[in-house]
Amino acid sequence: MSLLMLTCGTDSKPKQPVEIIKVEQPTGQTTDAAKPATKNKTILFFGNSLTAGAGIDLSDAFSSIIERKIDSLKMDYTVINSGISGETTAGGLSRIDWILEQQPIDIFILELGGNDGLRGIDPKSSYSNLQAIIDKVKAKYPQVIIVLAGMEAPPNMGDEFTSAFRGMFPRLAKANNLPLIPFFLDKVAGVAELNQADGIHPTEEGHRIVAENIWEVLEPLL
């Protein structure tokens, strides 16, 4: 199995040598993306800077940790990291069509919404964007398994906002019959030693805990 980086907004590099090609994005910008290898199945992480592994080496990010777990089980998967720093649900919706054209996807892990919460974007708008992403993925690959990552808004956004934001993830999961990671940053958010200086992005140890949160939901699906 190999980990590929697709449209990542960080300077991190894959931990193993792979063939790198320039891929033209819809925006007209180019990014280094690893040329997909021939594998039986594909897991794609679609998210923001958390997925992109901002501030740490990609080999220490949760996607790489998941890759190694799967590899240890001798399962034949290609793991693709499609995280962009600063991505919102609207940004994800704007690029999902391009992403879906790059390779078939068997498991799609949707990690978006955190930046919406930080920016105070109306949860109704975030919900609509996430639903549209889910619809597009299902339409392109009807047999795909979509895993939804639940997030929390910072408490300074007020009780009404944080409650609405928190509730949209289980609502989406129920409406679409999706496996749900209840809180993606469980046991990491708010713990100073598990986060970088910005208090938002996990350290290497934080990513190991996030990987366990993911694995608890992902393992039964493999």
Residue 201 among the catalytic residues: yes
Q: What pTM does this model have?
A: 0.84
Out of 59, 63, 201, 207, which one is annotated catalytic? 201
Query: Residue 170 in contact with residue 125, Cβ under 8 Å?
Result: no
Q: Residue 113, CB half-sphere, CA atoms under 13 Å: how many?
A: 32
Q: How much is the pLDDT for 6?
A: 63
CATH topology of domain 2-221: Rossmann fold (3.40.50)
Q: Whole-angstrom distance between the N-terminal and C-terminal Cα of the chain?
A: 14
The Cβ of residue 53 has, within 10 Å, a number of other Cβ atoms equal to 27
Residue 198 among the catalytic residues: yes
Residue 135 among the catalytic residues: no
Q: How much is the pLDDT for 5?
A: 62
Out of 49, 63, 82, 126, which one is annotated catalytic? 49
Query: Residue 113 in contact with residue 141, Cβ under 8 Å?
Result: no
**3-state DSSP assignment of residue 42:** strand
Over its length of 222 residues, how does the chain's per-residue pLDDT go in tens digits? 455 666 533 333 333 332 222 233 444 443 334 444 455 899 999 999 999 999 999 999 999 999 999 999 999 999 999 999 999 999 999 999 999 999 999 999 999 999 999 999 999 999 999 999 999 999 999 999 999 999 999 999 999 999 999 999 999 999 999 999 999 999 999 999 999 999 999 999 999 999 999 999 999 999
